[in-house]
Amino acid sequence: MQTDKRTSSKSPTRVLTVVQALREAVREEMRRDERVFVLGEDIRIGGSFLFTLGLLDEYGPERVLNTPISEAGFVGLAIGAAIQGLRPIIDFQYGDFIFTAFDQIIQQCTKLRYMSGGQVSIPLVFQLPTGASGRGAQHANSVETVFFGLPGLKIVTPATPYDAKGLFKSAVRDDNPVLFCVHKHLYGSKGRQLAASSISRGHVPDDEYLVPLGKGDIKKRGSDITVVANGLMLHRSLNVAEALESEGLSAEVIDPRCLVPFDADLVIDSVIKTSRLVIVEEGNERGGWGAQLAAEIAGAAIGYLDAPILRVASPNVPIPFSPVLENAVIPDESRIRNAILEVMDH
């Protein structure tokens, strides 16, 4: 198996960033399956987060299509191509731009299979940089939240290099449309800020592996409280949990990895053990996936809870530009810590 030229191969601990892991994943899947191709804006130079860096050289313009700025057009085109047997991957410069293709996703991509009585399937991966990164409101959407309630899509929010690679390969092999949402501070692309945590870089095996869609992962085991967080918020929650460990509080940190399907059983089992739950997400609080999870836990395990479920999320405002304001809106480590302590004090 060929590896990314920018990383050392066959090393016992091959430490990669998320974007390096994703570049390996897409190469391996294109090599494995002739039907897989990638399209998007400026992908010949790597796209915005360098996900496709070097891909054109390896696979040529027939399978690495540089598109016009025409999101509704090329999303629709990818849907049609998928219906007729290809397996497209659409690379979005910013996930925020997907909204100009809203009808194609909400009305076409997710419904054509259902409306036709199962006559068609649409294997299609959307590579979507998500979340706030100092660019003002129109480049700061938590894209995954907007689509969370929509039947017919799968939604993946990987947070580590290992998970990103394994989940991406599973997404490409899935016969459904998959939104693959990676936080802009987690790629680790050159020139981009990378979240500071113990897992934002990490070991990725040489040998091929898959991470199944719909299975969560316990990133830190603990016994006093359960913290569920994804994307950038997972890293912040883990930092808080590691700090609290030295203060004698044992928090279990769960990464759902996929929002749809959601591994609620993993959270239920953890809550039965800890009796306390905090849910952390970056998107606006109203209508977030955390609300759905809180309702599910209340329905399935309320008798095990010793304290109210607390959610940490952005208030219901667009994301402001000024770094002071953006930091005030997006959940930071002190807000997460305070929520955990509040639940513990209950």
Binding site for other proteins (CB under 8 A): 37, 62, 65, 67-68, 70, 72-86, 103-104, 107-108, 112-121, 123, 151-152, 154, 175-176
Angstrom distance (rounded) from CA 199 to CA 219: 9
Angstrom distance (rounded) from CA 5 to CA 82: 30
Q: Tell me whether residue 3 or residue 127 sits nearer to other proteins (CB atom).
A: 127
Q: Tell me whether residue 30 or residue 112 sits nearer to other proteins (CB atom).
A: 112
Q: Tell me whether residue 105 or residue 164 sits nearer to other proteins (CB atom).
A: 105
By C-alpha distance, which of 137, 303, 171, 292 is closest to 230? 292
Virtual torsion, Cα 189, 194, 198, 200, nearest 10 deg: -40
Q: Tell me whether residue 34 or residue 265 sits nearer to other proteins (CB atom).
A: 34
**What backbone phi and psi angles, to 5 degrees, belong to 21?**
-65, -40
H helix intervals, the chain: 18-32, 55-59, 71-83, 102-103, 112-115, 143-147, 161-173, 231-245, 264-274, 289-301, 323-329, 333-345
- Shortest separation between residue 56's beta carbon and other proteins, angstroms: 16
- Shortest separation between residue 126's beta carbon and other proteins, angstroms: 15
Q: Tell me whether residue 136 or residue 214 sits nearer to other proteins (CB atom).
A: 214
Angstrom distance (rounded) from CA 265 to CA 7: 36
Active site residues: 139
Angstrom distance (rounded) from CA 31 to CA 28: 5
- Shortest separation between residue 265's beta carbon and other proteins, angstroms: 19
Angstrom distance (rounded) from CA 156 to CA 171: 8
Q: Tell me whether residue 87 or residue 185 sits nearer to other proteins (CB atom).
A: 87
- Shortest separation between residue 318's beta carbon and other proteins, angstroms: 24
- Tokens, residue 254: 């769960």
- Shortest separation between residue 67's beta carbon and other proteins, angstroms: 8
- Shortest separation between residue 120's beta carbon and other proteins, angstroms: 6
- Tokens, residue 212: 């199944």
Angstrom distance (rounded) from CA 30 to CA 263: 29
Q: Tell me whether residue 215 or residue 273 sits nearer to other proteins (CB atom).
A: 215
Angstrom distance (rounded) from CA 39 to CA 64: 6
Q: Is the peptide bond before 320 cis (omega within 30 degrees of 0)?
A: no
- Tokens, residue 344: 């513990």
- Shortest separation between residue 175's beta carbon and other proteins, angstroms: 4
C-alpha 198: how far from chain center:
18
Angstrom distance (rounded) from CA 185 to CA 255: 17
**What backbone phi and psi angles, to 5 degrees, belong to 191?**
80, 0
